[in-house]
């Protein structure tokens, strides 16, 4: 306990270095800006802006990205409330009551509520994180390749079992991500592998950023172009009156919602830890529970402040929760943390439990920066509410070309090869066409990051066991993890069988 506090204090000395402090403030502001734009959320921001971090040392880079992540989670509420369009899927539940409040002329109340709830969610979850992470990392220190592979299987299996998308399309998405990550060289024999159409550009493999920016940058923007074309390009921006006196009155009113905030925070944190669950289901569940807890459930959906507070506390808490498996086990639970993990590999860090012992400064700098980013994000958010409303008035046709250009440069920067820019365009366009057919794409991004870690883990395990898959089941930790993975994997089959039997019985 005391040891953890000491390490956390060390982390804060890293955070308060002037350069890192600037990165946090800049990252929060950028994240708020990206989050506030309709359609763009934390994953898009982190994917598009990761190439900007190549200059600063890893600790600065992860601090910057974590600040963007946090800022974007705050910012998502702004367009949900002001435009009625969720800034990202994580802020969908915020529209339910945020939009009605804005229509009644109380947009400032909803915005302040969202900001404060996000702050509470972030703070509670980061405290939970601080005390859960080191023991988990400690247990994970004994993990070998079979456990690593079992954990990755579990991460993919949860997408199949809990993702809620078409079964075959989810499996396809995972498999294609893993195959794309295998392109380049075979790690063990050193031979060139899967050099598609014998194009030499494939020899250096496919950087995960090429796929991530393709899907979350280009693909997402094409999707937004379509939405704008369908909606005639017009959106209804609500009016908001923001004065200092009103802000203080709003803050006082929020005190009575503390129970909802705490509930949302704790729930969001634990849902966030699960791979494939995360911020979107967390915020929806929190909204549902807040409605049940309420003395006046009928007012939900018509502008109840609790309906804004509950999902916002949960989605921020979930984004912290999803960092737990990423940092302690090296297994990201969401596309955003997958991209952060990919970034760590680029910066030369080896993800996994050893991070806590080998790069303690990095880990604790990141954790301390979560505390700081949370504080700065709430201050910037409340102080600049009028500015963010102005930003929403910027026409999409001005922002779009700028984001496209950032994507093109972001695809070029990691390898400085035009081949990758072309590949990114292909991923973007094909990804857009697939998304229109409800192919889930997040598993593919997770897979391309985990592929280079999963393959050696599998091959080393099989070498140890001389080719027997039993090794995954007869070890203390990998056995239960693998069985859990199989249960999730076959969950859709069980469900189908159950429904068939029920139908037969009822007929």
Partner 1 sequence: MTVRTAELLMALMMGIFSIYLMHKSVELPIGWIEDEGPGGGAWPFWLSSIMLISCIGIIYNWFRKKGPIATSTKTYIQSHVLMEVSSVALALIITVALFSFIGIYGALPLFLLFYLRVLGKHRWLLSITLATLIPIIIFYFFEITLKIILPKGITEPLFIPLYKMFF
Tokens describing residue 56: 């600063």
Q: Min. distance of Cβ 179 from partner 1 in angstroms?
A: 5
Residues 6+ apart with CB under 8 A from 314: 121, 264, 265, 267, 268, 271, 279, 282, 283, 285, 286, 287
Q: Min. distance of Cβ 459 from partner 1 in angstroms?
A: 5
CB closer to partner 1, 217 vs 333: 217
Q: Min. distance of Cβ 154 from partner 1 in angstroms?
A: 17
Q: How many CA atoms lie within 13 A of 285 on its CB side?
A: 20
Q: Min. distance of Cβ 463 from partner 1 in angstroms?
A: 4
Q: Min. distance of Cβ 264 from partner 1 in angstroms?
A: 31
3-class SS at 241?
coil
3-class SS at 6?
helix
d(C-alpha 86, C-alpha 314), whole Å: 15
| Cα pseudo-dihedral 185, 187, 189, 191, rounded to 10 | 0
- Do 164 and 434 contact (CB within 8 A), yes or no? no
Tokens describing residue 331: 């297994």
- Phi/psi at 506 (nearest 5 deg)? -75, -25
CB closer to partner 1, 176 vs 279: 176
CB closer to partner 1, 1 vs 470: 470
Distance between start and end Cα atoms, the chain: 60
CB closer to partner 1, 134 vs 192: 192
Tell me the C-alpha to C-alpha distance, in Å, between residue 84 and each of 29, 310, 385.
22, 17, 16
**Location of structure tokens 């680029």:** 346
CB closer to partner 1, 296 vs 466: 466
- Do 94 and 303 contact (CB within 8 A), yes or no? no
CB closer to partner 1, 51 vs 335: 51
CB closer to partner 1, 327 vs 454: 454
| Cα pseudo-dihedral 244, 248, 254, 256, rounded to 10 | -160
- Do 23 and 62 contact (CB within 8 A), yes or no? no
- Do 74 and 378 contact (CB within 8 A), yes or no? yes
* Complete DSSP assignment for 148-167: HHHHHHHHHHHHHHHS-S-H
**What's the 3-state SS for 172-202?**
HHHHHHHHHHHCEECCCCCCEECCHHHCHHH
Q: Min. distance of Cβ 14 from partner 1 in angstroms?
A: 22
- Angle, alpha carbons 315-317-320 (nearest 5°): 110
Q: Applying CB under 8 A, which residues contact partner 1?
A: 51-52, 54-55, 166-169, 171-172, 175-176, 178-179, 182, 186, 188-189, 191, 193-196, 218, 221-222, 225-226, 228-230, 395, 397-398, 400-402, 404-405, 408-409, 412-413, 416, 418, 421-422, 425, 429, 432-434, 436-439, 455, 458-460, 462-463, 467
d(C-alpha 334, C-alpha 271), whole Å: 12
The radius of gyration of the chain's CA atoms, rounded to the nearest angstrom, is 23
Q: Min. distance of Cβ 42 from partner 1 in angstroms?
A: 22
d(C-alpha 322, C-alpha 126), whole Å: 11
CB closer to partner 1, 165 vs 361: 165
CB closer to partner 1, 54 vs 498: 54
Q: Min. distance of Cβ 397 from partner 1 in angstroms?
A: 3
- Do 451 and 244 contact (CB within 8 A), yes or no? no
Q: Min. distance of Cβ 32 from partner 1 in angstroms?
A: 20
CB closer to partner 1, 103 vs 193: 193
d(C-alpha 377, C-alpha 69), whole Å: 10
CB closer to partner 1, 48 vs 273: 48
Q: Min. distance of Cβ 457 from partner 1 in angstroms?
A: 11
Q: Min. distance of Cβ 215 from partner 1 in angstroms?
A: 15
CB closer to partner 1, 63 vs 314: 63
d(C-alpha 80, C-alpha 98), whole Å: 7
CB closer to partner 1, 416 vs 476: 416
């Amino acid at each position: 306990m005391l040891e953890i506090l000491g390490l956390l204090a060390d982390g804060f000395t890293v955070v308060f270095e002037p350069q890192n402090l600037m990165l946090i403030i800049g990252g929060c502001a950028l994240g708020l800006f990206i989050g506030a734009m309709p359609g763009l959320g934390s994953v898009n921001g982190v994917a598009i802006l990761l190439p900007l971090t190549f200059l600063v040392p890893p600790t600065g880079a992860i601090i910057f990205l974590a600040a963007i992540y946090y800022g974007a989670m705050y910012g998502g509420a702004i367009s949900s409330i002001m435009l009625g369009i969720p800034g990202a899927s994580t802020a969908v539940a915020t529209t339910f009551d945020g939009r009605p409040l804005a229509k009644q002329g109380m947009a400032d109340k909803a915005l302040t509520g969202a900001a404060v709830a996000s702050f509470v969610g972030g703070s509670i979850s980061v405290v939970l994180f601080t005390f859960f992470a080191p023991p988990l990392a400690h247990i994970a220190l004994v993990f070998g390749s079979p456990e690593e592979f079992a954990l990755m299987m579990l991460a993919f299996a949860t997408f199949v079992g809990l993702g809620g998308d078409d079964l075959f399309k989810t499996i396809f998405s995972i498999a294609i991500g893993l195959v794309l990550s295998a392109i380049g060289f075979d790690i063990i024999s050193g031979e060139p592998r899967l050099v598609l159409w014998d194009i030499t550009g494939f020899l250096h493999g496919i950087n995960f950023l090429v796929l991530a920016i393709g899907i979350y940058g280009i693909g997402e923007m094409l999707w937004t172009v379509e939405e704008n074309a369908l909606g005639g390009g017009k959106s209804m921006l609500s009016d908001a009156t923001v004065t200092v006196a009103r802000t203080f009155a709003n803050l006082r009113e929020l005190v009575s919602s503390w129970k909802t905030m705490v509930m949302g925070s704790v729930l969001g944190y634990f849902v966030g830890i699960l791979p494939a669950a995360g911020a979107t289901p967390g915020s929806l569940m929190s909204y549902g529970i807040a409605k049940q807890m309420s003395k006046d459930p009928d007012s939900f959906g018509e502008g109840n402040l609790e309906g804004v507070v509950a999902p916002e506390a949960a989605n921020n808490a979930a984004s912290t929760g999803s960092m737990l498996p990423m940092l302690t086990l090296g297994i990201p639970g969401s596309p955003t943390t997958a991209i952060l993990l990919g970034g760590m590999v680029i910066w030369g860090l080896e993800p996994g439990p050893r991070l806590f012992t080998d790069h303690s400064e990095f880990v604790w700098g990141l954790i301390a920066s979560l505390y700081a980013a949370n504080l700065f994000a709430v201050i910037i958010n409340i102080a600049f509410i009028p500015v963010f409303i102005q930003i929403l008035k910027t026409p999409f046709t001005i922002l779009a070309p700028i984001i496209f250009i950032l994507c093109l440069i972001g695809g070029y920067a990691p390898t400085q090869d035009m081949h990758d820019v072309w590949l990114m365009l292909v991923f973007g366009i094909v990804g857009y066409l697939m998304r229109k057919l409800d192919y889930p794409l997040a598993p593919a991004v997770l897979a391309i990051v985990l592929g280079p870690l999963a393959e050696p883990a599998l091959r080393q395990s099989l070498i140890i066991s001389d080719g027997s898959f039993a090794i995954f089941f007869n070890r203390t930790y990998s056995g239960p993890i693998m069985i859990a993975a199989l249960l999730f994997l076959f969950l859709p089959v069980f469900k189908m069988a159950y429904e068939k039997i029920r139908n037969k019985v009822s007929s």
